[in-house]
Amino acid sequence: MKLPKGTYNAITDVHGVNVGHVTLYEQIDEANTICTGVTAILPHGGNIFQEKLPAGCHVINGFGKTTGLIQMEELGLLESPIMLTNTFSVGAVLQGTLDYMLEADKTIGDTTSTINIVVGECNDSYLNSIRLQAVQREHAFEAIKRAASGPVEQGAVGAGKGMVCFGYKGGIGSSSRIVDQYTVGCLVLSNFGNREDARFADWETNDIETPDGSIMIIVAMDAPLYDRQLKRLAKRATAGLGRTGSTIANGSGDIAIAFSTANRHAHTAKTPLTSYSFIRDDHPIMNKLFQAVIEATEEAIKNSLHYAETTYGRKGRVISKAPIID
């Protein structure tokens, strides 16, 4: 039995999680088109550096250029917005996010430690003139400023503007599931697969020669879990990805990040001990949470196709909207 969906069927069904986009689209000349953007996921509405969240990550296939995963793997904490963009814009987006965080918290790098910025990417160079490096640090700053709760704009928006999924227009997709009193939400940046691989549709093969592709999978929840458990949930996103038909290609950067909003980890504390309550691994709720991640990931990928529109890119290339029937 499938689990029920949240109010918006989006990652923002997890209370406190906000999403913002900046979309860049401009035809420069016959050869070049800017077709890219930035997406920001804010884990909560407070100071994420001062009130960190438990987090875990899983590298399904490591052909990616994501920043911030080493420290997340070591410490099990998220202390910045999660940012998504194209492969060549990771540096600019990291800088813009750092600018935002330095402005928001004057202690960073002064009276306290430095900060670990998380930026994920996919290669949108089939449609986007990626060498122009159109994304600037102010676009990251603006995406964070635009982040809001409620319905999430999906499809060819933000970081998803130039992405291709199963040979059709992909990009940003989101979904959510309810497990007892808890909510699990997922947001993906889809950019992978060939038409004949899709398991949910009978599409004819096409001759589009795109890179192997990638996907970023961001999972949020309000269930009280700690970092090791969240890594286990991030691993389950692989099953949701596989359900759609992904073969997790050699040149694919497939990465999942999971965080929980249930407990906050203060950057500074007066005592050496911290106490959390968390769900036992052997409680039946854990299996339902695994199911929720798998279902939400699968549907988020389908939604990235469902909401995307036919997009014109560089060198006269066109990627059509997928013929998905509701």
What was the pLDDT predicted at 295?
98
Report pLDDT for 280: 97
Which position among 124, 212, 227, 254 bears the catalytic label? 254
What are the tokens at 306?
Answer: 């469902």
Phi, psi at 244, each rounded to 5°: -80, -20
Instruction: Please confirm, yes or no, whether 197 is among the known catalytic residues.
Output: no
- pLDDT < 50: residue spans in the chain: none
- Does the active-site annotation cover 252? yes
Provide the b/e sequence for 110-120 (b: ≥16 CB within 10 Å): eeeeebbbbbb
Q: Give the per-residue pLDDT at 209.
A: 80
Residue-wise pLDDT for 106-120, tens only, equals 999 999 999 999 999
Whether 174 is catalytic:
no
CA distance readout (Å), 182 to 168, 223, 299: 34, 5, 18
Q: Pick the catalytic residue from 80, 129, 252, 304.
A: 252
- Which residues have CB under 8 Å from 125's CB, separation 6+? 86, 87, 162, 211
**Of 292, 296, 234, 297, the residue nearest 55 (C-alpha):** 234
CB 216 within 8 A of CB 186: no
pLDDT at 207: 76
User: pTM score > 0.95 for this model?
Assistant: yes
Q: Considering only CA atoms, which of 286, 283, 232, 282 is closest in space to residue 258?
A: 232
Out of 80, 214, 246, 260, which one is annotated catalytic?
214
Q: Is the dihedral of CA 46, 47, 52, 53 positive or negative?
A: positive
Identify the pLDDT of residue 325. Answer: 57
Answer whether 72's CB lies under 8 Å from 116's CB: yes
Q: Which two tokens stand for residue 101?
A: 């965080």
Residues 6+ apart with CB under 8 A from 254: 59, 60, 61, 64, 192, 214, 215, 217, 238, 241, 246, 248
Residue 326: the pLDDT is 57
What confidence score (pLDDT) does residue 297 get? 98
The residues near 200 (Cβ < 8 Å, ≥ 6 apart) are 244, 245, 302
- Distance (Å, whole) CA 299 – CA 26: 30
